Structure formats: C-alpha cells, structure tokens
C-alpha cells in the first residue's frame, strides 16, 4: 500500500499532497517538513530509497523518491510494494503529467493543483495502484476534461474574460513568474509495458 504521495519543490514548498491515511493538517505539514529535510540533503547520485521517516509509519515504511528539476516526487510505501516498481510508477506519473500539460513545469503544478490531483486519481486510488498503462491514464483524463468542457467548466466564459481583464491591468503579474526554465525533463527509463 502507498501511504502518502508528496510533491514539493527544492525549497520544501508543497505542490501536491495526498495522504491515504488520516493525519490532521498540522501533522501533515510536519511530515512534509521532515520528509523534505530528509530528502533534500541527499545528493542526486545516491540511491532513491530512504528509511526512517519517524512520523509516518515506522520500520515497515520506506520513502521512495525521484528528483526532477525543481521538484521532488516522494512516495511513502510499505513493504508490500516493490521498491523498483514504485520508482517506475513515479516515472509513469511524471510522464503522464508531461503529456497532459505538454512539457510540464513546476508552474503547471502550482496553478493547476486540482488537475494534478485528477491525474493522480487515475494512477493511484486509495493507496493502491490503479493503472500503470500511460495511454489508458491519459485517455481517461482527457475524456473527463472533455466532459468538463461540455458542462462549461468551473469558471465559465464570463469569469474567464474577467480574469483576463484583471491580468491585463496588473503589470506585475508576469514579473512574478520568474522561476526560470523549470520544465521537468523526463528521462527515458524502462516503462512498465
């Protein structure tokens, strides 16, 4: 079982959190901080497994993570999961994000946290792996966004127009998006299928 999925950036700012076991909010933040502390001090060329997150789990649990550009993808899993299997799964998840957002970067995750959740929901459900075939995942995600569009979406046309106008009036907005080129470069690794 997967106990938690955390995505945070190089400064420890959470970009996506998904706990499959209940923790109160302050505990969740503490877990994120601790995990970031453990993961961030490790070199890129050391192994991708970590034991000893004391807050989450205990000895049966491992942290398995990958570091892409500015983001860490951390899965906390128990011993029923295969370590290398989860590494591949992270790869599948990131590649799926890459396909759905077209050259995904940290900004996509920042502004579309909900969409990232919807994509994740097609990969992992309730802590168990639902699908590992990328085409299948992307297909289902696209079907659902089509359905959403046919309903007019959350923000509808008028709101979108307004937010466009709002953006025009605020010259400082573009300046804030200066994280640099942070496209997550997805290296090719052995896929599942």
Rg (CA), the chain: 18
Q: Whose Cβ is closer to another protein: residue 121's or residue 183's?
A: 121
Q: DSSP H helical segments within the chain, as ranges?
A: 25-40, 83-101, 106-111, 113-123, 134-150, 156-169, 172-176
Choices 67-75, 93-101, 153-161, 180-188; region in contact with another protein by CB under 8 A:
153-161
Cα–Cα distance for residue pair 140/146, rounded to 1 Å: 10
25 binds another protein (CB under 8 A): yes
Please, what is the end-to-end C-alpha distance for the chain in angstroms?
Answer: 21
Q: Whose Cβ is closer to another protein: residue 103's or residue 143's?
A: 143
Cα–Cα distance for residue pair 17/74, rounded to 1 Å: 10
Question: Interhelix angle for 134-150 vs 113-123, to 10°?
Answer: 130
60 binds another protein (CB under 8 A): no
Binding string, residues 102-131; x marks residues near another protein by CB under 8 A: --------xx-xx--xx--x---xxxxxxx
List of residues 6+ apart from 130 with CB closer than 8 A: 122, 123, 124
Q: Which of 5, 17, 94, 100 binds another protein (CB under 8 A)?
A: 17
Binding site for another protein (CB under 8 A): 1, 14, 16-18, 20, 22, 24-26, 28-29, 42-43, 45-52, 80, 82-85, 87-89, 110-111, 113-114, 117-118, 121, 125-133, 136, 140, 143-144, 147-148, 151-156, 158-159, 162-163, 166, 172-173, 176, 190, 192-193
């Amino acid at each position: 079982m997967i106990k938690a999925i955390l995505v945070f950036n190089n400064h420890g700012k959470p970009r996506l959190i998904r706990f499959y076991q209940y923790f109160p909010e302050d505990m969740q933040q503490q877990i994120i901080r601790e995990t970031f502390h453990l993961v961030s001090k490790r070199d890129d060329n050391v192994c991708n497994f970590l034991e000893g997150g004391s807050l989450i789990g205990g000895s049966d649990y491992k942290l398995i993570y990958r570091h892409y550009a500015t983001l860490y993808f951390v899965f906390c899993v128990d011993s029923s999961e295969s370590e290398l299997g989860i590494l591949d799964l992270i790869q599948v998840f990131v590649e799926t994000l890459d396909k759905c957002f077209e050259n995904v970067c940290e900004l996509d995750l920042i502004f579309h946290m909900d969409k990232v959740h919807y994509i994740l929901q097609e990969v992992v459900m309730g802590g168990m792996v639902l699908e590992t075939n990328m085409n299948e995942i992307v297909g289902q995600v696209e079907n659902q966004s089509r359905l959403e569009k046919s309903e007019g979406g959350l923000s509808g046309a008028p709101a979108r127009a307004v937010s466009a106008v709002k953006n025009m009036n605020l010259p400082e907005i573009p300046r804030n998006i200066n994280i640099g080129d942070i496209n997550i470069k997805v290296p090719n690794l052995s896929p599942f299928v």
